[in-house]
Structure 1
Amino acid sequence: MPEWPEMEHYRQELNKRIQNRKISGITVNRPKSLNVSEEEFRKTVLGTVVERVDRRAKQLIFVLGGERYLLLHLMLDGMMHLGTEADKPDRSTQIELYFGDTALYFIGLRLGYLHLYDKRGLEEELSSLGPEPFDADLTAARFADMLKTRKGNLKTCLTDQHWLAGIGNCYSDEICFAAGLLPSRRPAALEEHETARLYTSMRSVLTEALRAGGYMEMPLYSGDERTGGFNELCRVYDRGGEPCVRCGNPIVFQTLSSRKCFFCSNCQT
């Protein structure tokens, strides 16, 4: 599932390519991916301009004229492709937004969605999300205070969107590895130097992943050589049984709190 680096990467790339462009056509192949009727969606969205693309947590926000917003959550297996009919992947599409000869194809939206909101509806929909990893007011001190009252383990803590928005299975494991901490550690029991290390690792891992284009390997557009570049840079995620890049011990794969989890049992403490 796309996380903070993937969605921020998509936001930046889409703003380069569709910002201030008019939506000239719409195809809806799966009405269940919408939260309104296809007729209302078409009536409201067709002919509007994408003023910009924003992001909140793991979701993209297409800001349209007339204070209307499209909220995209790709969820599991969801992806996008920007291009023409000739170069789009050989996959079924659920929704297509056209910008002249170019279309933004939404693929794999079985669990994901593209919902239409006004300003108030959007604010209500996003109101339960926690702070973002790079929020200016999420200082190291505030992060440490948040951890002190947190129950469960680091894995469930970092992936709780109500507590901290944007991190999922992949980057929680990568962050814990970078910090040298086991995902099973109790947040409230961390020492001061460990919480500081976790905070620094969170920001450094996410920054590195964004620069590499995230770990989702499907190109966003024809000729895209950046998207998915972090997949080869993952130290532990989906690396079960492979040697640890720090100590050489095999990476462990376990299920932790119903989530798949990868870590090094030797150099993460």
Structure 2
Amino acid sequence: MRSRWSLSIGLLVVGLLVVTLPAYGYILPAKFFLSQLLKKRSVFGDMKIKQTTTRFINGQKTSFDEHIYIRLPGKIRVERWQGGKRTRVALYTQNTASIWSAGGQTKSVPRTPQFRFDVFATSLSGTSFGSLRTLLSKMKIYYRGTSVWSRDSDYRLQDRVHFSWFGRGPAVIFGAAHNNRKKNQFWIDKRTLSPVRFIVRKNGKTGPLWDVSFLDYFSSAKGRSFPGRTIVRKNGKLYSRSLTYLVKTNVSIPNRLFSQVP
């Protein structure tokens, strides 16, 4: 009787192995999703975007237009326009930021993450803020054990990469499970490999919780280039809404826009 039970248990174990082991062959490594995201981004080259942004702060609503110029890797210029006049210019390079407001002087400050734009300025050859892995590190999004980045890692060995649902499709999450708000997260659409969400505390553990969603992408035969809507929530409350009305890809942007402020 004992030998019969042993044989049954042995066959059960073998059966489980046969069913389970092949599944690992279909679990793609983390580097696949991130590198494919960057490859898809690269086909659009430098971009010019125009948005109307509305902010909701302390019960007050303020609207303005934004003209955004993105040059790969890591350079972003954001112009704010109100009443037909340019009222603010922010130039972000890979290491510094230069900020100008109407009536004031240009100030240079250390570069910090810009949740709405940074991921769209990263490339395979980028460094500092032009590198996706560095950007995630600066956002304190740690998705693999105790290491920020590993080309040899894969999902089945990671305890900080997860899958969830975003809108009508599956999403890959780097940083934590979807319901864990104690750790910063980066979400990408599993099918299109487009960025769809950041959930971030700027210093990693304390401070306001920022939830940024990228929705309704502009699409072409080349793929999805830039979100038509960007929604930002601060501690669960609506902070800003940006509606994109113009996206131009593979454009030639004058060098002066990335060397002069304003």
Q: Same fold (TM over 0.5)?
A: no
Q: TM-score scaled by structure 2?
A: 0.26
- Larger strand percent: 2
Q: Which has the higher helix share?
A: 1
Structure with the greater alpha carbon radius of gyration: 2
